[in-house]
Structure 1
Amino acid sequence: MVSWRRFRIWFSLFLLAVGLSGLTAACQFQATLPDGRPAEVNLTLASFAVSKKAHEAIMPLFAAQWEREHQQKVRFRTTYGPSGRQSRAVIDGLEADIVHLSLGLDIDRIAKAGLVRADWSSQAPHNSIVTTSVCALITREGNPKNLQTWQDLLREDITFVTADPKTSGAARWNFLALWGSITQTGGTPEQAQQFVTEAFRHVAALPRDGREATDAFLKQGQGDALINYENEVILARQKGQTLSYTIPPVNILIENPIALVDKYVDKHGTREVAQAYIDFLYTPQAQEIFAQYGFRPVDATVLAAHQQEFPPVPTLFTVADLGGWDKVQAQFFANGALFDQIQQENRAS
């Protein structure tokens, strides 16, 4: 009898809780502005890992501006991780409204899956590039071996660490920096292949991704140098790490694109606010925040104000100068392409 009474009390409380939660959900669902718009809108951003701190600083500023101008709250849901993994997650069903990734190839993949319009790169300023960087040569403290250029990596007493271009988007930029250091200074593709083949004979470790490469160099003591993004070095310094680095004078402009995920902004009804956030990222205010977190701004005025942190690179080329991502992927990184051939040749020698 007692147990039955307890059960009835418990069941009544359970029904009350369900009713309250349903009422709360209904109230939230029905919360609208006088013009019928929802009082709150949720935006989901999928971005590459090192952009996290910058977006966390920019989002509250945008949300405050949007609420002032539109009387509507914006809540952000975010996911950060390796660029290639983020693109695969969106293709596999992660309903991101916006993607900010480390290379255009990853957004191209999303477009080929039918989630992003094919001409995405023409939908925002600077070909939809919102942040940039260059490749840095990180050395042991004080640069004891005086490493200044990519050619220095071929010296007999030098080994270096880079992530594997087959598994790491960041490492593809590293490979292209080495390749372009020859072809963009008058060398032939044959000379570039010879140079890059020899360079990879000097690799002390070829980890899976940029984070593992950094650990191999800093924590495990492998190699005399590490190739990584300039913005990663600046961010590490802000966290208190003492790193010596140089920016080789022939370098590639690392371009980080942004795009609406058209299928999902239309499904969620968030196209207007998502586009507004992208537009906000190009404002001097947001570009200044990107600069503070180590990214080279695409806003020329903001970049000029940070010349001390971001010294001009005498010879700076882009992936477009190498033929664009489709050509680069097929030529260098596809199965059986040039990088695989280089690795096979080095293993055989």
Structure 2
Amino acid sequence: MSYRQSRNWPSWRNTSKYSVSGMLNPLFQLFQVLKRPSKGAFTMLLAVSLSFCLLTSAYKKDTGLPEPSLNSQTQLVSQKNKPVELNIVSFAVTRAAYANIIPLFQQKWQQEQNQEVRFRLSNAGSSTQARAVVNGLPADVVHLALALDINRIQKAGLIQPGWEQETPNHSIVTSTIGVIVTRAGNPKNIHTWADLANPGVSVVTADPKTSGIARWNFLAFWGSVTQTGGTEAQALDFVTRVYENVNVLAKDARDATDIFLRRKQGDVLINYENELILASQEGLAKDNFSVIPQINISIDNPIAVVDKYVDRRGTRQVAEAFVKFLYSPEAQREFAKVGFRPFNPTLVQEFSCKYPPINKLFTVQTLGGWSAVQEKFFKDGGVFDQIQAYIHSRTD
């Protein structure tokens, strides 16, 4: 893998006219004179001493370099070893994984670089986070729910083009799928995406305007029709009927979980598989019934270093090292423990019982890629807005 390195290295001129040999020639001359003690020798000693002082002063002025000293060297070492702060901006449901991963990296960096790394972690809906970074949130690393949001940061001039090629797996560092969660006993008899459109079903999902999971959910609904032989007209009809069953659009994945599990609203929750696993580990979903649709979308979450901010803050080296560490077996195992599907072959085998394969798994590329998807479905006035306008017109 390759990582961008800062190119702002100084280039020093060849200052040959102030070479060491040139500056020491008068001292050799003085040595020759002092072999013959005389009044002239004392005069020569004084002249050469003054000349040497002038030459060293000129050398210092011409190069702009300070005279080396033990104090300046100590300061350089001190600056290198002073604590560095790293700002991680991520989507809502990664906090638990980072709580375990960050201490592992801190220990590794301390051992290898003798430097403390302090982290500031921000979690919110993916689209909300992207807007915050564009508007000035100084993220060193962004780990978001979808590439579309990182592309938005790139278009703002904060990330260099080609970021997808900077790390393995096209910069996808975590993956999951969509799941359906019902009340205990599955009273509404929900088993597939198609059942979400049934009359009398209250669906909880997030808002595609603010949340990454909401966009993935929308695409899962759409693809469940088009990827099984249905037409786009049929997909539009189905997705419209699903959103007619949505009473409240949550702001992000975690908010959707809270609405369904804590506030007990709705009959069905649509969310990330990893969010359901984490909720189960926290004891929130123990009485609920979960369904993994066998026609599903691979929810791929990318990561990138924010070039403009790391160069401004002087954190590129540690930011790139942290991103690289996230692909290590140690970090990927921590992601897998809290619900993200591993792509490391060894870990796939290790967690095979926890993450059974999906019969038909499609990707956003299957639907045309993020640029086409954004233009068609999620731009202002796109298919999602048209669906919402239609629903509101019927309820007004």
Same fold (TM over 0.5): yes
Amino acid at match of 2:353: Q
User: 111, 120, 137: which is aligned to 1:68?
Assistant: 111
Partner in structure 2 of residue 217 of structure 1: 260
Q: Name the CA distance, whole Å, in 2 between partners of 1:73 and 1:167.
A: 35
Return the match for 1:172 from 215, 220, 240: 215
Is 1:316 matched with 2:361? Answer: yes
- Distance (whole Å) between structure 2 residues aligned to residue 290 and residue 239 of structure 1: 16
Preserved CA contact (<8 Å) 1:49 1:81: yes
For 1:6-45, what per-residue CA distance to the aligned partner results, in whole angstroms no more than 9, with x for missing partners? xxxxxxxxxxxxxxxxxxxxx9xx86438x7344322211
The aligned counterpart of 1:240 is: 283
Secondary structure of the 1:162 match is strand
Residues 1:77 and 2:120 are matched in the alignment: yes
TM-score calculated relative to the size of structure 1: 0.85
Q: Label 1:244 to 1:273 Cα distance change in 2 as closer, same or farther (>3 A).
A: same
Question: Are 1:326 and 2:384 an aligned pair?
Answer: no
Deviating more after overlay: 284-293 vs 63-72: 63-72
Task: Assess, with a 3 A threshold, how the Cα gap between structure 1 residues 264 and 141 changes in structure 2: closer, same or farther.
Answer: same
1:342 aligns with 2:387: yes
- Give the % identical residues: 52
In 2 relative to 1, CA 289–83 (structure 1 residues): closer, same or farther, beyond 3 Å?
Answer: same
Residues 48, 206 of structure 1: alpha-carbon distance in 2 compared, 3 angstrom cutoff: closer
**1-structure distance, mates of 2:75, 2:92:** 34
Aligned residues: 320
Paired position in structure 2 for 1:190: 233
> Any conservation in 1 of the 2:90–2:129 contact (CA below 8 Å)?
yes
Larger Rg: 2
**Local SS of the residue matching 1:296:** coil
Among residues 335, 360, 365, which one is paired with 1:290 in the alignment? 335
Mapped pair 1:33 → 2:77? yes
Shift of 1:126: 0.9
The Cα shift of 1:194 comes to 1.8
TM-score (norm 2): 0.76
Note if contact 1:164-1:207 (Cα within 8 Å) is conserved in structure 2. Answer: yes
Residue equivalent to 1:202 = 245
Contact 1:136 1:227 in 2 (8 A): yes
Is the alpha carbon distance of 1:212 and 1:160 closer, same or farther for their aligned partners in structure 2, counting shifts above 3 Å? same
**SS state of the match for residue 69, structure 1?**
helix
In 2, are the aligned partners of 1:253 and 1:316 still within 8 Å (CA)? yes
Equivalent residues of 1:32, 1:39 under 8 A apart: no
Q: Which residue identity does 2:311 align to in structure 1? A: D
Residue 139 (structure 1) aligned with residue 139 (structure 2):
no
8 Å CA contact 1:288–1:297 kept in 2: the answer is: yes
Identify if the C-alpha distance between structure 1 residues 73 and 213 changes in structure 2 by more than 3 Å, giving closer, same or farther.
closer
Amino acid at match of 2:237: Q
TM-align CA RMSD: 2.1
Alpha-carbon offset, residue 212 of structure 1: 3.9
